[in-house]
Amino acid sequence: MVSIFKMMRLNKFLAGAGVASRRKCDELIRDGKIVVNGKVVTELGVVINEKKDKVVYEGKAICLPSSFVYIKFNKPKGYTCTANDEKGRKTIYDLIDADERIFSIGRLDYDTEGLLLLTNDGDFANRVAHPRNGIEKEYRVNIEGEVKESELAVLRKGVVKDGERMPSAKVKWLSFENGVTKLSVVIDEGQNRQVRRMFEGIGREIKLLRRVRIGSVKLGGLKRGEYRDLTEDELNLLVRGK
């Protein structure tokens, strides 16, 4: 009997094994963090045999999971999304007990709280995170003082910061109470610190930033630090780009 082995790109294999998103896996390869059959690999586009080749990351052999995990998590403020923080800060993995190696789909910065999705399925993560699929992310934003309609118009059009126009956003005024303006902000690209940089561009400082929705998946009633598996309906909607 002849055995047939599946060949795949190294970055896809790493993402599928739950090491990180495919884009992050490219960075790991370029930085010389991945070893294949005893040799450090730094070139992108390398193809491996998933059954025969030995892939090692951080001293551990990597293999594809036998099952996939899809988690919905309410990240508290004061936690990083890295597995190991160089400053010794608490990470989200201190709060999540998972048998499989999982990673977050995108990140929320240290001072941002709210909805985060985690998985060990690299293809699913790439589908949700890639800008071409236009999956919206909605945030609740609290700003000190009363924000003017003219400022909201700038945010909707796209703030110019450091000589570069940032992506436009859907911004909705919710309320002004006790000296604080509450807004809903919806983006579909997810650049690094995009929402914070938008408000920095109009000279406003964010007091509270919470992500409440990714596509059709809402934060719901999860308390800070709580998590659960995505439902079949939630998962199917994300796969369909909704």
The residues assigned a catalytic role are: 109
Contacts of 72 by beta carbon, 8 Å cutoff, 6+ apart: 115, 116, 117, 217, 222, 227, 228, 229, 230, 234
User: Which residues are bridge partners to 229 per DSSP?
Assistant: 71
CB count within 10 Å of CB 44 equals 12
172: which 2 tokens? Answer: 């909705």
User: Which residues are bridge partners to 142 per DSSP?
Assistant: 182, 208
Describe the chain by its helix, strand, coil percentages, rounded to 5. 25, 30, 45
Distance, CA of 213 to chain centre: 12
Instruction: Answer yes or no: are the C-beta atoms of 224 and 76 closer than 8 Å.
Output: yes
| Of the candidates 119, 118, 101, the residue with the CA atom closest to the CA atom of residue 57 | 101
